[in-house]
Chain A
Amino acid sequence: MKISFKWLKQYVDLSESILAEEVAARLKASTVEVEELIDLSKSFENIVVGQVKSIEKHSDADKLNVCSVFDGKENWQVVCGGSNVVKDMKVAFAKIGAKVKWHGEGDLIELSKAKIRGVESFGMICASEEIGLGEKFKSKSEKEILDLSSLDLKVGDNLAKALNLDDAIFDIDNKSLSNRPDLWGHYGIAREVSALFNKKLKEYKTEEIKFSKNGGQKLSAKVEDNNLCPRYMVLEMDNIKVADSPEWLKTKLSAVGLKSINNIVDITNFIMFDLGQPMHAFDKAKIFGTEIFVRKAKDGEKFMALDNNEYELKSSDLVIADNEKVVALAGIMGGQNSEITENTTNIIFESANFGASNIRKTSTRLGLRSDSSARFEKSLDPNMTKIAMQKAIELVMQVCPEAKIVNKLVDEKSFSLNQGPIEISLEFIKAKLGLEIEKKNVINILSNLGFVITEKKDKMFVKIPTWRATKDISIPEDLVEEIARVYGYSKIEATLPTFIINPPEKNKLRDLERKAQQILSKTCGFTESYSYSFVSPQILQKLMLNTENHLELNNPIAKDRPYLRRSILPNLLESLEKNSHEFDEVAMFEIGQVFHVEESGVRMEEKSDELLPRQDTMLSLVYSAKNNKVPFFEVKSALEKVLAECGVDFSWQESEIIENYLHPARLSKVVINDVEIGIVAELHPAVQKNIGIDNRVAVTEISLDKLVDFIQEKNNYQILSQYPDVLRDVALLVDKKITNLELLNTIKAVSDLITEVELFDVFESDKIGKDKKSMAYHITYSSSEKTLETEEVEKVHKQVLEKLQKSFGAEVR
């Protein structure tokens, strides 16, 4: 919204010394976001009202004249091509240093002394387009210069000042106004400025409507639902002459970025930007009958709005209608069928109040936002409709003195505002802010904003002005904000709260996440990635996952990923695929929430039995490298390191195929105390090719929510033995189906003297047989009681070999 500084100053007594910059800064610090301050007079620097004192033909050019122009102090020689230049004409004289647009096109150019066909020229006599006044003063031909003779201007005055354009415009971010119904016009902002600078706000004066006695037809209005329309006012005027608006009105509208249309429409727009109350004017001749209906639309009803678009309405939309047709979409836009034209003689002014929420719903649904709907959405004060109507009539009488009011004002209303009073004390203010503000300051701030304060002992009873009572202010905390922001947030000292020393409860899950992040990145060389919580149907399809058990977004703007992820792996695999074309080795992990609709999570509301879908925090790893044909062990090892740090006893268990995208023979469950917390696997080679990755891929995904329950501090310390260990290595040739775990357990079970068994080599080759593998182990023998004799160790070692031979047919190599 644009606010004119000049317009503002009509309502608040700001001394000349208060500059627009200061006002903008104070508004920013205490009220709204001023996005830009535009100084209109800047573009008129060095452009003055000049007078042509003499004209001579240019000796070397038919169409040029050499003029002498008086700037109020001295005469300047100026070469001019204007077809309409005559002696004594008052002109817009751009002196050296002024910035103009040649022929109204291109960039601004700064004027300097020039020689035109051999004759020196000190400046330029401008056409209206050349100084940005093309809209205000339309020229009939390209060669025509701006003739200011008919205006009562003083020669030598700066043009901006002379034409009343020496204004500054505050461009205010509408979003920063969304909670303030009172700030949508100049008067409201003026009230705010009066409080910020502690200057007097002028009364908004309008005269009571004087009704004509000679009757005429009597209008009536029927409001179907007072919640949707708390107040509806209409009034008819005749003898209207629709014409151009007067200069002052055009200037005002142009300052706030509006185009002048005609005197009647301009008056309604002026009032909207003056008071913040939208109004509408209908052509009475185009309204059927005398009854006006404020009703809900019929489903499917069509409406041609003033923006030349046809809208299909729904029964939730509120419309203004006569007996036959819809003539306006209430509070949003008027209709073409009742538009004011140059032939209009009778008008109906509408000044109404509409329910905010319904206006917003309709205008959002139709994608039709107007200056009017933007205001009604904020819950306007219903009391404003009358002041607006009075002001409109006053202005109509100014621009068409012969106009007359027909019959009397129709005013259908049903509303109540909670104006308090709110009880507040200085102690309360101090308790909230941590700062003592003097009583007279508090009272001054509040009364400048229109609050009425009654004092009773230590308490103040604050009556809310109607323009703040619709939703904005209702509790003492609201008043604290008013006082604090006007007083100045910068004056409130920063303090630090004092607390009872009490260590915070640990977040075990978050501790686990951080532990995993550290181990995986620093020890295992995995890089952390973040991906979207949403997945695409394409990747799910490639992984042969169905979409049905996925929750789906209702309305995503980005339509490519409509499903809520059940696993982090699909998106992480997409990233792996992209990276695999740039890197020989890709090792990535991610920690994040997934969404399982069939399981239950936390409560939807405190006392509700309804539960949210389960949302476990998962840890997922993906790995792939050139020439690594069994990447399984890379992710297994990384996961092992995380689990080891958690002190849990976990096991790897072979598993039936869980998802079709996994490798049927390279797949393990991760199990703790019979609870399955996740899997380690390779991708099925066909799927891996299908998603475009050249090398084998290993993945793991575990639920950190499940793991966190098993975390314990583990103490593995054993008292150091005084006696030396005896080490024996053994390489066994066994059937490929025999597992490491089986061999380990068997070896360990042979004797208590075996304290450690470690696999250190696995070897497969056609030479040793297709179904065979060689497994090599370090076996540690030790005793805490004595030094082991060689014979003793040999005896046990022999038992080990016999046992392996017997159980697995293992040959010693």
Chain B
Amino acid sequence: MKDKLSKIKKDFESSLKKIADLDSLEELYNEYFSRKAGEMTNIMKSLKELSGEERKEMGALANTIKTAMEELFENSKKTLENNKWETLLETEKIDITQAKLPVERKGHLHPVTLVQNDLEDFFTSMGFMLLDGPELESEFYNFEAVNIPDDHPARDMQDTFYIKNRDNLVMRTHTSSVQVRAMQKYGAPLRMIVPGKVFRNEATDPRHEHTFHQLEGVVIDKNITFGDMKGVIERMVKHLYGEDTQVKLRPKFYPFVEPGVNGEVTCFLCKGSGCRVCKNTGWLEIFGAGMIHPNVLKAGNIDPKEYQGFAFGFGLTRLVMLKYGIEDIRHLESGNLKFLQQF
């Protein structure tokens, strides 16, 4: 029995030396220690057959040897496991350039949404209210209220969508239709912007679309000046195109402002030296503005003797086309995924 035990230990030790991986180690372990047929297990079982002193003596010896073997096994296991981590580089290499599969569907926001959200955040951070209004508007709010009387040529200039059998309804031709609605609702002082969809009855081509988007702004208070208008617009275009952007104002007639201007800013692409985008002028015409006409304030129940202010309107669609270099305005309302997925 004694010899047997020391032989088992010897055999185990020599076998252990030849083991190079964890699987074989596990096999070896089972060879000696498996519950049913392990050699060592059998020995332990056979102890029962011994008697008295011998059983006691052999029992103690067997236990010592078993513990020693198990210790050897554990050491070997640890060594092998450590060896295994050292080979991870080869054994568990993956292609990190591969994508997660199956591929997940990606969603995109419309480019007008992206630019609009950015400007909404910009203006609300300066305390402007964000307003909206009906796209199908009364002639009153679209025209009369903003100082465009019935026979005014401006109604020709803006070829308007009228509604069959509803003479006093129009598809709003500008977001200015919200000006007087807002004045009536909130009074003065007032700081607001209105982004929105507007409509002109014209034929479409790469540069013209009957449906497009504008962003209107209004500031009314007791001491708002032309200089303030210049300042606020300058902040906005610097936000859009960088701190070195300049603003140039030129006279332009809009019935709802006096004085009225149209505004150009330094071309963001060439920084004013002239390029394809600005048609070699160095300037981009992107907004109209002016000091709100007293008649418009009156229509909004605001006393023009007490309050004054300015309004401005940006072609949101134009800003988007400039920003991304979009060549055909019709892509924007096309619902074409090949276009939409690029943003």
A357, A496, A575: the one contacting B336 at CB < 8 Å is: A575
B interface SS class:
mixed
- Which residues of A in the span 522-575 have a Cβ within 8 Å of any Cβ on B? 522, 524-533, 551-558, 564, 571-572, 574-575
The interface bits of chain A over 72-112 (1 if a CB of B lies within 8 angstroms of the residue's CB, else 0) are 00000000000000000000000000000000000000000
- In the bound complex, do residue B108 and residue A527 qualify as a contact, i.e. CB atoms below 8 Å apart? yes
- Which residues of A in the span 555-599 have a Cβ within 8 Å of any Cβ on B? 555-558, 564, 571-572, 574-576, 578-579, 582-583, 585-588, 592-593, 595
- Which residues of A in the span 489-509 have a Cβ within 8 Å of any Cβ on B? 489-490, 492-497, 499-505, 507, 509
Nearest CB on A from B156, distance (A): 7
A29, A521, A532, A552: the one contacting B163 at CB < 8 Å is: A552
Indicate whether A555 sits within 8 Å of B162 (C-beta atoms), given known contacts A178-B157, A529-B110, A530-B112. yes
A484, A493, A502, A605: the one contacting B259 at CB < 8 Å is: A484
Bound Cα distance from A509 to B230, whole angstroms: 31
Looking at B47-55, B62-70, B120-128, the stretch in contact with chain A turns out to be B120-128
- Which residues of A in the span 451-503 have a Cβ within 8 Å of any Cβ on B? 475, 477-478, 480-481, 484-485, 489-490, 492-497, 499-503
Q: Give the residues in chain A near B75, CB-CB below 8 Å.
A: none
Q: Give the residues in chain B near A510, CB-CB below 8 Å.
A: 120, 130, 132
Q: Give the residues in chain B near A529, CB-CB below 8 Å.
A: 110, 335, 340
- In the bound complex, do residue B227 and residue A435 qualify as a contact, i.e. CB atoms below 8 Å apart? yes
The interface bits of chain A over 12-46 (1 if a CB of B lies within 8 angstroms of the residue's CB, else 0) are 00000000000000001111110000000000000
B130, B225, B232: the one contacting A431 at CB < 8 Å is: B225
Q: Give the residues in chain A near B163, CB-CB below 8 Å.
A: 551-554, 564
Indicate whether A533 sits within 8 Å of B197 (C-beta atoms), given known contacts A434-B227, A612-B137. yes
- In the bound complex, do residue A553 and residue B164 qualify as a contact, i.e. CB atoms below 8 Å apart? yes
- In the bound complex, do residue B225 and residue A477 qualify as a contact, i.e. CB atoms below 8 Å apart? no
Size class of the contact patch on chain A: 35 or more
B249 part of interface (Cβ distance < 8 Å): yes
B156, B228, B335: the one contacting A579 at CB < 8 Å is: B335
Bound Cα distance from A31 to B252, whole angstroms: 8
Q: Give the residues in chain A near B192, CB-CB below 8 Å.
A: 504
CB-based nearest B residue for A604 = B138
Indicate whether A497 sits within 8 Å of B232 (C-beta atoms), given known contacts A434-B226, A507-B131, A583-B337. yes
Indicate whether A578 sits within 8 Å of B259 (C-beta atoms), given known contacts A496-B235, A593-B135. no
- In the bound complex, do residue A557 and residue B201 qualify as a contact, i.e. CB atoms below 8 Å apart? yes
Indicate whether A431 sits within 8 Å of B308 (C-beta atoms), given known contacts A480-B259, A494-B234, A615-B136. yes
Q: Give the residues in chain A near B131, CB-CB below 8 Å.
A: 507
B287 part of interface (Cβ distance < 8 Å): no
B174 part of interface (Cβ distance < 8 Å): no
- In the bound complex, do residue B136 and residue A564 qualify as a contact, i.e. CB atoms below 8 Å apart? yes
- In the bound complex, do residue B204 and residue A558 qualify as a contact, i.e. CB atoms below 8 Å apart? yes
CB-based nearest A residue for B209 = A532
- Which residues of B in the span 147-178 have a Cβ within 8 Å of any Cβ on A? 151, 153, 156-157, 159, 161-166, 168-169, 171
Bound Cα distance from A582 to B308, whole angstroms: 54
- In the bound complex, do residue A497 and residue B228 qualify as a contact, i.e. CB atoms below 8 Å apart? yes
Bound Cα distance from A517 to B114, whole angstroms: 10
- In the bound complex, do residue A434 and residue B225 qualify as a contact, i.e. CB atoms below 8 Å apart? yes
The interface bits of chain B over 229-241 (1 if a CB of A lies within 8 angstroms of the residue's CB, else 0) are 0111011000000
A230 part of interface (Cβ distance < 8 Å): no
- Which residues of B in the span 16-34 have a Cβ within 8 Å of any Cβ on A? none
B140, B221, B235, B340: the one contacting A604 at CB < 8 Å is: B140
Indicate whether A533 sits within 8 Å of B135 (C-beta atoms), given known contacts A360-B156, A477-B293, A496-B235. yes
Looking at B38-46, B90-98, B99-107, the stretch in contact with chain A turns out to be B99-107
Indicate whether A579 sits within 8 Å of B130 (C-beta atoms), given known contacts A530-B112, A612-B138. no
CB-based nearest B residue for A500 = B189
Q: Give the residues in chain A near B168, CB-CB below 8 Å.
A: 604, 610
- In the bound complex, do residue A527 and residue B340 qualify as a contact, i.e. CB atoms below 8 Å apart? yes
Nearest CB on A from B121, distance (A): 10
Nearest CB on B from A26, distance (A): 11
Q: Give the residues in chain A near B159, CB-CB below 8 Å.
A: 557
Q: Give the residues in chain A near B260, CB-CB below 8 Å.
A: 481
B107, B129, B137: the one contacting A504 at CB < 8 Å is: B129
B89 part of interface (Cβ distance < 8 Å): no
B189, B225, B338: the one contacting A432 at CB < 8 Å is: B225
CB-based nearest B residue for A430 = B225
Q: Give the residues in chain A near B221, CB-CB below 8 Å.
A: 497, 499
B250 part of interface (Cβ distance < 8 Å): yes
B332 part of interface (Cβ distance < 8 Å): yes
A327 part of interface (Cβ distance < 8 Å): no
- In the bound complex, do residue B340 and residue A528 qualify as a contact, i.e. CB atoms below 8 Å apart? yes
Nearest CB on B from A633, distance (A): 15
B184 part of interface (Cβ distance < 8 Å): yes
Q: Give the residues in chain B near A514, CB-CB below 8 Å.
A: 117
A31, A489, A507: the one contacting B249 at CB < 8 Å is: A489
Indicate whether A605 sits within 8 Å of B138 (C-beta atoms), given known contacts A499-B221, A514-B117, A528-B340. yes
- In the bound complex, do residue B138 and residue A492 qualify as a contact, i.e. CB atoms below 8 Å apart? no
The interface bits of chain A over 640-676 (1 if a CB of B lies within 8 angstroms of the residue's CB, else 0) are 0000000000000000000000000000000000000
B112, B128, B136: the one contacting A551 at CB < 8 Å is: B136
Nearest CB on A from B247, distance (A): 7
The interface bits of chain B over 209-233 (1 if a CB of A lies within 8 angstroms of the residue's CB, else 0) are 0110000000101011111101110
Q: Give the residues in chain B near A605, CB-CB below 8 Å.
A: 138, 140-141
Q: Give the residues in chain A near B157, CB-CB below 8 Å.
A: 175, 178
Bound Cα distance from A475 to B291, whole angstroms: 13
A441 part of interface (Cβ distance < 8 Å): no
Q: Give the residues in chain B near A30, CB-CB below 8 Å.
A: 250-251
B202 part of interface (Cβ distance < 8 Å): yes
Indicate whether A582 sits within 8 Å of B171 (C-beta atoms), given known contacts A432-B226, A558-B203. no
Nearest CB on A from B212, distance (A): 10
Nearest CB on B from A531, distance (A): 5
A147 part of interface (Cβ distance < 8 Å): no
Bound Cα distance from A497 to B251, whole angstroms: 22
- In the bound complex, do residue A496 and residue B231 qualify as a contact, i.e. CB atoms below 8 Å apart? yes
B288 part of interface (Cβ distance < 8 Å): no
Indicate whether A433 sits within 8 Å of B227 (C-beta atoms), given known contacts A526-B107, A533-B171, A578-B336. yes
B35 part of interface (Cβ distance < 8 Å): no
B140, B151, B210, B291: the one contacting A558 at CB < 8 Å is: B210
- In the bound complex, do residue B335 and residue A434 qualify as a contact, i.e. CB atoms below 8 Å apart? no
Nearest CB on A from B90, distance (A): 37
Nearest CB on A from B2, distance (A): 50
B242 part of interface (Cβ distance < 8 Å): no
Nearest CB on B from A32, distance (A): 8
- In the bound complex, do residue A504 and residue B191 qualify as a contact, i.e. CB atoms below 8 Å apart? yes
Indicate whether A555 sits within 8 Å of B161 (C-beta atoms), given known contacts A494-B247, A579-B337, A612-B134. yes
- In the bound complex, do residue A528 and residue B251 qualify as a contact, i.e. CB atoms below 8 Å apart? no
Which 4 A-B pairs give the minimum distances between C-beta atoms?
A575-B335, A434-B225, A434-B227, A481-B259
- A residues with a Cβ closer than 8 A to B are 28-33, 175-176, 178-179, 357, 360-361, 364, 377, 431-435, 475, 477-478, 480-481, 484-485, 489-490, 492-497, 499-505, 507, 509-510, 514, 517, 520-522, 524-533, 551-558, 564, 571-572, 574-576, 578-579, 582-583, 585-588, 592-593, 595, 601-602, 604-606, 610, 612-613, 615
Known A501-B127, A527-B108, A558-B210; 16 more pairs at CB < 8 Å: A175-B157, A432-B226, A489-B230, A493-B230, A494-B234, A496-B232, A521-B108, A528-B108, A528-B113, A529-B110, A530-B112, A553-B162, A554-B163, A605-B138, A605-B140, A613-B169
Q: Jot down 25 A-B pairs with beta carbons below 8 A, ordered by A.
A: A30-B250, A175-B157, A178-B253, A179-B253, A357-B151, A360-B156, A432-B308, A434-B227, A480-B258, A485-B251, A490-B249, A504-B124, A504-B192, A507-B130, A525-B104, A525-B107, A528-B110, A555-B162, A556-B201, A557-B159, A557-B210, A582-B337, A604-B138, A606-B184, A613-B136
